[in-house]
Amino acid sequence: MKKIVIAIAALGLIASSASVAQAAPTTMVMFTAATGAPLPGNTLPSLTAGDVVTLVIAKFPTGKGMYVYQAVQPAAGKRPTQYNKAGALWISTTAGASFKPTDLIKLTIDNGNAWGADCAHQSCGIQVELDSISSAGDTSEDQFFPITYVAGTSTTTTAPAAPASTTTVTASINGTALEQNKASVVLAYRTPLTVVTTASDGTSPTINFTPDPSGKTLCVVEGKTIKAVTATGTCNLEVHAGTAVGYYPFYLGKGVQSAKKSTSAAKKGKPTSLTLKSNFGETISYVSKTKKVCTMVDNTLIGLMVGKCTVHASALGTANYDQFNADWDITIRKK
């Protein structure tokens, strides 16, 4: 452990007052139990000195390293100035790092007294940021996760309890096996995916999502199909066969808004209705880009002369999906 601490000190974990970049980080931090089973809602329980927080970092930046350490919550847009340098972890593929990017990363929590803080009375948490070797001054991946510190109460994260079982379960999507306890697939908003499950004892597994602590429904199961009903957060799919259970976490993401091109040709002078709604129910707006050839009235196309008509179709986006935009070519023919 001493070697790791020396290595991190030499690499220059330096608190800075630099402003955090406005763009959302691309890395995704998921807190897990010691076994790697994701914690429902990515929410940590109350912690005390000696508890070990386990986490994984998805979408780890290629060719870079990261620091993970306990700190007092900084001012908005700043990096921590009170932090546990001695207990900081360096995540990298470089020799001497505390953990590799693909590892289950384990950070031991303390009361903060050794580094000038008091987590029982100050707001402490876990800071994740790019290291100062590969990305000096780059705050684009800075993330701070507050913790609730309770003195004298041992609450080290544990996996959801399950009786011991010799049965094993598997899950796959589109022929690709899912890995237990690691998020490898993004579940996009209202985009159904079919899950194929197996159990070594020959039974048919059942599936459900772990309830989110917020009480909100983030993902739903319909038979063997799963889908997200929001584009933010995480969902933990449970696959059960008897007393055996497998945990398969998913990050949630935006759905892809689309609309069907209803026709490739229309007759001159004859009104032709185009698609009214997108796949997410947004009203599609149309604008003719070839006004001599065709015109649009709401979603109705009218051909003015024989030729190629180009219309621009668009629909508003939301937090769950981006705006839709497309140019469609429609041939205007004689009556």
Region 136-142 average pLDDT? 89
CATH 2.60.40.1080 matches 265-333: yes
Going by C-alpha positions, the residue among 276, 274, 330, 273 that lies closest to residue 305 is 330
Taking the C-alpha atoms of residue 131 and residue 188, their distance in angstroms, rounded to an integer, is 31
Decide whether 169-253 matches 265-333 in CATH topology.
yes
H helices present in the chain, as ranges: 2-11
Residues 220-254 pLDDT 10s: 999 999 999 999 888 889 999 988 888 888 888 99
How far does the chain reach from its first CA to its final CA, in angstroms?
83
Domain extents for the chain? 2-146, 169-253, 265-333
Q: How many residues does the chain have?
A: 335
Tokens for 313, please give them.
């179709």
Alpha-carbon separation of residue 171 from 178, 184, 199, 227, 250 (angstroms): 6, 12, 9, 15, 13
Which tokens sit at 262? 């209803």
CA distance 224 to 242: 18
Return the bridge partners of 295, or none. Answer: 302
Taking all residues of the chain, what is their mean pLDDT, rounded to a whole number? 86
229 or 8, greater pLDDT: 229
pLDDT of residue 152: 67
CA angle, 16 as apex, 13 and 22 as ends, to 5°? 115
Q: What is the mean pLDDT of residues 143-169?
A: 69
Which residues is 314 bridged to in the sheet?
285, 325
**DSSP secondary structure of 274-325:** PP-B-TTSPBPEEEES-TTTEEEETTEEEE-SSEEEEEEEEE--BTTBPPEE
pLDDT above 60: residue 81: yes
pLDDT band at residue 17 using 50, 70 and 90 as cut-offs: very low
Least confident of 9-18, 101-110, 153-162, 273-282: 9-18
58 exposure class (CB count in 10 Å sphere: 0-12, 13-18, 19+): middle
Q: Which fold has domain 169-253?
A: Immunoglobulin-like (2.60.40)
Q: Which helix (H) or strand (E) holds 19?
A: none
**104 CB contacts (<8 Å, ≥6 apart)?**
32, 36, 54, 55, 56
Q: Which residues, listed in sequence order, are joined to residue 68 by a DSSP beta bridge?
A: 89, 128
299-328, pLDDT tens digit by residue?
Answer: 999 999 999 999 999 999 999 999 999 999
Give me the pLDDT at residue 21, please: 39
Helix (H, G, I), strand (E, B) or coil at 7: helix
Work out the average pLDDT over 39-65.
Answer: 87
Q: Which CATH class is domain 2-146?
A: mainly beta
Give the list of residues 6+ apart from residue 59 with CB closer than 8 angstroms, or none: 26, 27, 28
When pLDDT is cut at 50, 70 and 90, the band that residue 264 belongs to is: very high
